[in-house]
Structure 1
Amino acid sequence: MNALRNTLIVILLSIATTSMAAPASENSIKQLLAVTQAQKLADNMQTQINLQMNNIIQQALKGKTPTAKQQKAISNMKNRVTALMQKEFAWEKLEKMYIRLYRESFTEEEVAGMLSFYKTTAGKAAINKMPVLMQKSMQEIQGMISESIPQMQKIESNFAAEMKSANN
């Protein structure tokens, strides 16, 4: 009985200690964001969005050359989207969001551990290689999604037929 009581006390104390761990400070999170080049990644995201927008426009044109008026409309739309993205995804906004999310997710000790790791050779390699890895992953996932579209369309078609027959 004493062993059970002692075990419960240890468990409760460990839970209390864990829940009382200090949240990460704004300063340590800013250091982590700087070390991991988060602002550079955000800027690269803007570039990727612009490239995707250009690809979508080219696909929509289907090889046709737009008229002067169409080209002007395309340019206006691209400029408006770019301005919106720069405003909505400005580093000042993203940094505030990251600080809030990191504070909610990590303790000061955990952020300190990440900072230590990212200062190592392996950590620096992860920082430099992760964006390329993520980009390649996204490209492959997009390819997988594209390949599955016919199957999804068939499932949707079958569902529509089933719903139609269920209504009769």
Structure 2
Amino acid sequence: MKGPGFWSSLVLGGILLTSPLALADDSARRAQVEQLLLEMQMDSMMDTAYTQMEQMILGMQQQFNIKESEKPLFEEFARKSTQIFKQELGWDKLKQPLTDIYVKHYSDKEIADMLAFYSSDTGRSMVAKMPAVMQESMMMTQSLSQGLLPKMEQLQQEFANKLKAHREAHSGE
């Protein structure tokens, strides 16, 4: 009968022998995911999303009651907001964590299938049309949410009033 040291050595040896294989497999998988993200044109989709976000902010001038004389200030605010998003959530910062997420959640077959799709004519068409779809979706969401903002503000005020009353009633507890 072998002692505990034998089993530990056997397990450690097995890990050391299979680690290069796992790392090679992970490296190949990561490369495949990076190719997938390239085929999906994630970097340019991010740029498009930031441009659309800036346009959406600029479209909110009426909601903020921006006067004509205040427009340059608001435009600067929108531009700087977009710059901050690009700096903090730019593709250079998102690529590796996004790759990690894809590697974690998708199997080799799923990654290969997605890569085949995005390399196909239909996949390329989808990528090419996605900025317009995103823009129209954002505009639709923005128009639908115009009634949402006043309701949410009212709900927030009601909650603040109820919370204040509750705290006053229970201040001795």
TM-score (norm 1): 0.64
Q: 2:128 maps to what in 1?
A: 128
**What stretches of structure 2 of length at least 5 have no aligned partner?**
1-24
RMSD: 3.3
**Corresponding letter in the other structure for 1:26:** R
User: TM-score, normalised on structure 2?
Assistant: 0.63
In the alignment, structure 1 segments of 5+ residues that lack a partner are 1-21
Give how far 1:142 is off: 2.0
Structure 1 window deviating more from structure 2 (112-121 vs 23-32): it is 23-32
Where relative contact order (Cα < 8 A, 6+ residues apart) is larger, the structure is 1
1:29 aligns with 2:29: no
Deviations 1:55-89 (A, max 9, x none): 335653534213xxx95x65764564344223212
User: CA distance change for structure 1 residues 113 and 55 in 2, over 3 Å: closer, same or farther?
Assistant: same
Tell me if 1:84 matches 2:76.
no
Distance (Å, rounded) in 2 between the aligned partners of 1:59 and 1:150: 10
CA drift of 1:132 comes to 1.7
Measured after TM superposition, the shift of residue 25 of structure 1 is 1.3
AA aligned to 2:135 is Q
Q: Is the 8 Å Cα contact of residues 33 and 102 (structure 2) preserved in structure 1? A: yes
| 1:55 counterpart = 2:92 | no
Match of 1:65 in 2: 69
Task: Spell out structure 1 runs of 4+ moving beyond 4 A.
Answer: 73-80, 148-168
Identity of aligned residues (%): 25
